[in-house]
Amino acid sequence: MRARIAAACAEADRDPAEITLIAVGKGIAAGRVAEILALGVTELGENKAQEAATKAADIASLQPEPAARWHFIGQLQRNKARIVTGFASMVHSVDRPALVVALDRAAAPRRQPLEVLLQLDLDPNPNPDPTRGGADPQDLAALADAVLGVEHLTLRGLMTVAPPGVDARRAFDRLVGYSQVLQAIQPSATVISAGMSGDLEAAISAGATHVRVGTALFGARKLASEHRS
């Protein structure tokens, strides 16, 4: 995977040090996910709150060196905010004001603020799948203001999942455009989380800073783990 990222960076004339690889272990047992820490991949991603919390606790109990840092990348219900703020460093899937409020409240007891990304839905067609998540880009500024207005969240950037059936590169170019809009509001919100196993080259060439890779690292998983958390 490092070689694939390096090749994509060479092609795009970028420094591989600019890219953070997040290993997405959803549907994969804690023991196998932990093995990747030893390879130096310390950023781990999950998309279901309870599975993630259990796995994070299991892996923490192994006291790995280096330790893992957890990214929550799936759709999140408000009533599960507290599960996620218990283990995650960054939540990529903030897409509505009510979730901002719930995460802020849940993050209050933390020592560190919770880092958040705003997830945009860049599907040009009306979203047929409400479980996929993501905010309408028209709501970007309002959502950014909501995060900036609370105490326990830090606004770090944007995330998207390329919509099915459209050219991923075009979607990622749009995301990078919206990142510029966001950075005009909050200059430190520079993270661009885009690219998965199938489209990470397009994401890196568009300007992604974080790629979220599951299948290409761990192999195929059962479809059950794709569902809403």
Nearer to ligand PLP, 60 or 216 (CB): 216
Select the residue interacting with ligand PLP from 26, 71, 96, 210 (CB under 6 A): 26
* Residue 63: CB minimum distance to ligand PLP, A: 27
Matching residue, tokens 């761990």: 218
Contact yes or no for 176/192 (Cβ under 8 A): yes
* Residue 26: CB minimum distance to ligand PLP, A: 6
Residue nearest to ligand PLP (CB): 214
Select the residue interacting with ligand PLP from 20, 42, 47, 205 (CB under 6 A): 47
Select the residue interacting with ligand PLP from 12, 24, 146, 189 (CB under 6 A): 24
Q: Give how far the C-alpha of residue 191 lies from the chain's centroid of Cα atoms, to the nearest Å.
A: 10
Contact yes or no for 42/69 (Cβ under 8 A): yes
* Residue 54: CB minimum distance to ligand PLP, A: 17
Select the span of 33-41, 164-172, 181-189, 208-216 touching ligand PLP (CB under 6 A). Answer: 208-216
Contact yes or no for 90/114 (Cβ under 8 A): yes
DSSP-assigned letters across all residues of 187-201: TT--EEE---TTTHH
Select the span of 30-38, 120-128, 167-175, 209-217 touching ligand PLP (CB under 6 A). Answer: 209-217
DSSP-assigned letters across all residues of 42-96: -EEEESSHHHHHHHHHHHHHT--SSPPEEEE-S---GGGHHHHHTT-SEEEEE-S
Nearer to ligand PLP, 183 or 197 (CB): 197
The strand pairing partners of 135, in sequence order, are: 120
Residues 106-145: x where in contact with ligand PLP by CB under 6 A, - otherwise, as a string:
----------------------------------------
* Residue 111: CB minimum distance to ligand PLP, A: 27
Calpha distance 153→157 (Å, rounded):
12
The verdict on 198 binding ligand PLP (CB under 6 A) reads yes
Calpha distance 229→221 (Å, rounded):
16
The verdict on 213 binding ligand PLP (CB under 6 A) reads yes
Q: Give how far the C-alpha of residue 53 lies from the chain's centroid of Cα atoms, to the nearest Å.
A: 16
Select the span of 63-71, 99-107, 166-174, 195-203 touching ligand PLP (CB under 6 A). Answer: 195-203
Q: Give how far the C-alpha of residue 77 lies from the chain's centroid of Cα atoms, to the nearest Å.
A: 16
Contact residues: ligand PLP, CB under 6 A:
24, 26, 47, 73-74, 161, 196-198, 212-216
